[in-house]
Structure 1
Amino acid sequence: MRIAGAPISWGVCEVPGWGRVLDPATVLAGMASLGLAATELGPPGYLPSDPAALRALLDEHGLALVGGFLAVTLHDRSTVDEAAEVAHRLAAAGGEVLVLAAATGLDGYDERPELTGAQWRELVDNAARVRDRAARHGLRAVLHPHVGTHVERADEVERFLADSDLPLCLDTGHLLIGGADPVELAHRFPDRIGHVHLKDVRADLAAAVRAGRTGYAEAVRQRMYVPLGDGDVDVRGLVELLRDNGYSGWLVLEQDTALTEGDAVDEPVRDTARSLAHLTRFTGQERR
């Protein structure tokens, strides 16, 4: 299993007005200083869209490209071409995986209209269309259950697994917030785990989001996400299960953060270093 980082741990998010956005050089240098091998792309427009320019920037910091997260309205067929174009650019820059989330079409992740049965079937069909288009470029597509999207709750994850053959991005934080046990899910569906976002969260704030008492963005600002080992996800149990099941993909460290102007620039580095220390404590795994 290979360990990578993601710009969201440095507060870089696709949601308008999320928080302070650090420049790419600061974020990538922070990852490199920790010995991370690679990064995910971050939101559209944050890193260069030109594959050659992106490769050159990552090379400067000794990082490879894992792939990228893309939240698109999968229940609308017009987004298939958009996702396919992103897959083409990721593959040209050396990426391996396109991480899809079934966006609602609204800004942010605090509101979520319900889908009709026909819209759900369109979501499943379009996910397959994106998968096939991405595969033409040698890229794998996975579906990321995510708070505030149309595949969020435990029952929706189960429904997607039943209706689609797309692998999952096992995001330990978003699954727990949605009411699923990520370890139990990995145990039941070992052959459906195509990618992993490794997070830790506070169960009390996760429950408040799930119950609608706290908005997702507000919970992030209250530090719902914490370094690995400081929250309520069974990180060790999950990683050991993945290893026993032969998972050989990426573990992408993510600690969703919203930075303010008063936050220290090196705070994300310190938090990610703590996560790495926790992870290597029971894996004994070198980072590069």
Structure 2
Amino acid sequence: MSAEDTTTGTAAAAPLANRVAGAPISWGVCEVPGWGHQLEPATVLREMRELGLAATEFGPDGFLPDTPEAKASTLAGFGLKAVGQFVPVVLHDPAHDPLPEVERAMGGLVAAQASTVVIAAATGQAGYDARPELDDSGWSTLLGNLDRITGAAADRGLVATLHPHVGTMIESGEETARVLDGSRIGLCLDTGHLLIGGGDPVAVARRHPDRIAHVHLKDVRTDWARRVRDGEATYTEAVAGGMYVPLGRGDVDIAAIVSALEGGGYQGWYVLEQDTILTGPGGADPARDVRASLEHLLSVAGETGEMGT
């Protein structure tokens, strides 16, 4: 069984070491205007492959070529598979139909033989430093759109997931629970964003293994997370200040999450993500941090017996 064919279930999973993917955000590549220095795709993809990563998410629009075929060809040229794409779309506005945007993204995913479309409930504003609150009408529209996207993805052979994300309409543990209760979409468990938003990623991994279809592994410092929750720092300030760290150097219990997921039958990808802001060429070494995260993940997976055979 290949990793791109897997979600959750009862069949034997591919070895965990074969299900580790990268994400351009670990190299500072982000859709937010003014986020920081943006590295060339060739640099990012080459370093991913040199680290031994099997696959990558697409990154923001413009990082890879526009056409589905060119996306697939570019990744293949670096020996990488495609795993999915982060797609922030407005879901709560009854005057806005998010499905055409998601359909365009899914075209590229299908062409590259990827598995997952990762939806975030965008606010409609730039960046992730502020968000409005949802009323009952907004919640109803959002949940309905999630089900529409889930159906459209399934029609294309893809799995749709909702990604709780700081600065979007779904960021907290309570909001995540409402999505799980009120829609049929799968969950992208982002261990960092969920903790920053006041949720418990270990508890979610243990309670909802049947709904988790994709995983973004992050480690964060809770001192910065508390400052973001308390309004003492914006999300962007916290990222620039070092809120995200390589796996094993922060306050997320990566070993407990991996053990719960693998024990619960998870068969999908683990995407290494360390949100990073680069101030310019030279200086920072994103690949060094990704290497440290990969080594930590494989270490804890081995210790908990989750490496596979």
User: Which range, TM-score by smaller chain?
Assistant: over 0.9
1:39 corresponds in structure 2 to 56
Deviation for aligned residue 1:88: 2.0
Q: Which runs of 5+ in 1 are unaligned?
A: none
**Equivalent-residue separation in structure 2 for 1:206 and 1:12 (angstroms):** 21
CA contact (8 A) 2:69 2:108 kept: no
**Equivalent-residue separation in structure 2 for 1:55 and 1:84 (angstroms):** 17
Give runs of aligned pairs for residues 139-154 of structure 1, distance below 5 A: 139-154=158-173
My pick for the range that moved more, 77-86 or 10-19, is: 77-86
- Supply the AA of the counterpart residue of 1:260: T
1:275 corresponds in structure 2 to 293
Task: Choose from 269, 272, 275 the match for 1:256.
Answer: 275
**Equivalent-residue separation in structure 1 for 2:28 and 2:275 (angstroms):** 7
Deviation for aligned residue 1:282: 2.2
2:252 corresponds in structure 1 to 233
CA contact (8 A) 2:71 2:108 kept: no
Deviation for aligned residue 1:50: 1.3
CA contact (8 A) 1:14 1:43 kept: yes
Task: Return structure 1 stretches of 4+ with deviation > 3 angstroms.
Answer: 284-287
**Equivalent-residue separation in structure 1 for 2:153 and 2:218 (angstroms):** 26
TM-score, structure 1 as length reference:
0.96
Deviation for aligned residue 1:264: 2.7
CA contact (8 A) 1:71 1:103 kept: yes
**Equivalent-residue separation in structure 1 for 2:190 and 2:280 (angstroms):** 28
Paired positions, count: 286
**Equivalent-residue separation in structure 2 for 1:25 and 1:223 (angstroms):** 26
1:205 corresponds in structure 2 to 224
Deviation for aligned residue 1:49: 2.2
In the alignment, structure 1 residue 220 sits paired with structure 2 residue 214? no
Q: How large is the Cα RMSD of the aligned pairs?
A: 1.4
**Secondary structure of 1:190 counterpart:** coil
In the alignment, structure 1 residue 14 sits paired with structure 2 residue 26? no
- Over 3 Å counting, the alpha-carbon distance change for 1:89 and 1:150 in structure 2 is same
TM-score, structure 2 as length reference:
0.90
- Supply the AA of the counterpart residue of 1:69: F
2:9 corresponds in structure 1 to none
Measured against aligned partners, the alpha-carbon deviations of 1:91-110 in whole angstroms (never above 9, x if no partner) come to 12211100000000000000
My pick for the range that moved more, 185-194 or 74-83, is: 74-83
My pick for the range that moved more, 128-137 or 140-149, is: 128-137
**Equivalent-residue separation in structure 1 for 2:233 and 2:103 (angstroms):** 35
Task: Choose from 199, 203, 206 the match for 1:184.
Answer: 203
Deviation for aligned residue 1:58: 0.8
**Equivalent-residue separation in structure 2 for 1:274 and 1:64 (angstroms):** 22
**Equivalent-residue separation in structure 1 for 2:91 and 2:39 (angstroms):** 30
In the alignment, structure 1 residue 168 sits paired with structure 2 residue 187? yes
CA contact (8 A) 2:89 2:119 kept: yes
Deviation for aligned residue 1:286: 7.5
**Equivalent-residue separation in structure 2 for 1:92 and 1:153 (angstroms):** 33
